[in-house]
Amino acid sequence: MNKQSFYSLAAVCKMLKIEPHTLRYWERQFEFHFKRNSAGRRIISREQLEKLKLIQHLLHREKMTIKGAKRKLAAMITRTEQLPDPKNTRQILLWLKRELISLRTALETGKDV
């Protein structure tokens, strides 16, 4: 994939193999704020593209609903904000232990993480 800073709506749709109306729907549902070029067409940043790929995975592969995908994304953002200091090995190991216990519990109970 080309490492551009921004992609057109058509290019993103082609990469994700989705229709433009689907992308516009996700834009509204997941509250994306795509920039627009001088012609008024949507342009999508690399970071937004990565988030769109994650949304596609959650909706199409994991078979989540829009509401479920929103919850999962919110939980992932919260977890990312709670990441330990990368210089503190003990803190990293304790965080990793909590994450693994959470995953084991979720697997045993059949719940979403």
pLDDT digits (tens, 9 = 90+) for 50-59: 999 999 999 9
- What pLDDT does 101 receive? 86
User: How many structural domains compose the chain?
Assistant: 2
5 Cβ partners below 8 Å, 6+ apart?
45, 46
The CA distance from 64 to 49, in Å, is 19
pLDDT at 1 over 50: no
Q: Is residue 1 part of a domain?
A: no
Q: Which domain holds residue 44?
A: 6-81
19-75: pLDDT as tens digits: 999 999 999 999 999 999 999 999 999 989 999 999 999 999 989 999 999 998 888
Q: Are residues 60 and 37 in the same domain?
A: yes
pTM of the model as a whole: 0.67
63 Cβ partners below 8 Å, 6+ apart?
none
Phi, psi values for residue 45, rounded to 5°? -75, 165
User: Which amino acid appears at position 7 of this protein?
Assistant: Y
